[in-house]
Structure 1
């Protein structure tokens, strides 16, 4: 009844710090796993994380195009997350009608 399956899910996240970008990427794992399956998920456990790309974009903002320049960093990360999914396959359950 209960089954395990391993999958690799590609997720990406963006934020104003490294931690926020990484957290945004990891929060997408559950959404991607649920989108690819129609079974009832019991547990999603990450096994391994590989970094596909990590980009830091620095832009300069100015007030009225010339005053008070400041640098702003935006972090963008793409990850391949190997997950072990524990689920119940609903197609094997037979319902009786009354």
Structure 2
């Protein structure tokens, strides 16, 4: 009898090829810092909006949707980091008013 090892490894091989987006590191930071800035709010949704690469700095922009008691609102989070070293520089928050 043969062991049939050819098919049992296929799912693991497929999973190992899944690429992590380049912005994943910064999305974790954006979510963590948003939770610190708005400790009584729940993050309901998250979206990576854009990557902006410059010569000196790069930015990653995210939109998070929060709910705090009866209030729901959006927050634009911009993470700026060094293009050369990849080190964090700053994070900015801008609330999006709800009509």
Q: Normalising by structure 1, what TM-score?
A: 0.37
Structure with the higher strand share, 1 or 2: 1
Report 1 or 2 for greater relative contact order, CA contacts < 8 Å, sequence distance ≥ 6: 1
Q: Normalising by structure 2, what TM-score?
A: 0.36
Instruction: Specify the structure having the higher radius of gyration (Cα).
Output: 1
Structure with the higher helix share, 1 or 2: 2
